[in-house]
Homo-oligomer: A and B are copies of this chain.
Amino acid sequence: MEKTFIKYKKGLKLKSPILLVGLPGIGAVGKLVAEQLIREFKGEKIATLYSQHFPPRVVMLKNGKIKLVGNRFYKLKTKTKNDIIVLTGEDQAVTPEGQYIVNNKIVDFFVNTLKGKEIITIGGYNISGNYTDKPRALGNASSDKVITKFKKSGVVFGESRGTIFGSAGLIVAFAKMNKIDSICIMGESSLIDMDPNAAKSVLKVLSKNLNLNIDMTKIDSIIEKTAKMIKELENQLSSNVPMPSEQKDNNNRSYIR
């Protein structure tokens, strides 16, 4: 087995594909978006990346079989001008070196094998402690041209600060080195584990940008369920903790980590 390799269907003909990358990360924003799109637009798996840099684990499936962790490319069934490919998976690479190798492989495959034209990575932007029910979609892009284009779809530029770790950041850097357009879109996320609200903010801008009619009722029902779960958790906590002032503080933080 090679260290990092991609198994793919030979002979695929794609129309100037755009890649959407939604891997595990802050608020699970990338994964939520990717899974919604693959389900709604009947994504067909066209390639799988395996790597010695992923955690050494297999997932136990309900049907009694197993699945080796990997990153998988799905072609959506859409009538858009460009084919839309979604990349998602169970894990990101574990080590710094692995991150560079795996993400470089992803970009190399998309650019040189799939003849891709543009990459959009999706992540969460941590605003924990500053809850908002109207999270924005912040962006950082490879060039002014890309910024101008995505501003029209509602992405906010120049307000994000700090670092983008992992695939969502490195893939944009490598895309730029390969001279294709690229952007990282981040939903403002106040729930670290899973923030469907943040995911919705990204789905909305993608809908405009890709000219795709995305059904928002599904993400809305996840938002509702999550809100209910948090409320229950808060109730439980408030009936346990002695001092009201302390309570509030604790509650505000408890569901975030």
- Stretch of A16-24, A39-47, A90-98, A205-213 at the chain-chain interface: A90-98
Considering only residues 1-19 of chain A, those with a C-beta below 8 Å from chain B are: 1, 3
Residue of B nearest to A92 (CB): B56
Residues of B within 8 A of A163 (CB): 57-60
By secondary structure, the A interface counts as mixed
Size bracket of the A interface: 35 or more
Residue of B nearest to A67 (CB): B173
Considering only residues 243-257 of chain A, those with a C-beta below 8 Å from chain B are: 243, 246, 249-251, 253-257
Residues of B within 8 A of A63 (CB): 158
Considering only residues 210-248 of chain A, those with a C-beta below 8 Å from chain B are: 230, 233-234, 237, 243, 246
Chain A contact residues, CB within 8 Å of chain B: 1, 3, 52-66, 68, 93-101, 103-104, 128-129, 139-144, 147, 157-158, 160-166, 169-170, 172-174, 176-177, 184, 190-192, 230, 233-234, 237, 243, 246, 249-251, 253-257
Report 6 cross-chain contacts, Cβ distance below 8 Å, ordered by A residue. Answer: A58-B169, A58-B172, A60-B160, A61-B140, A66-B172, A256-B257
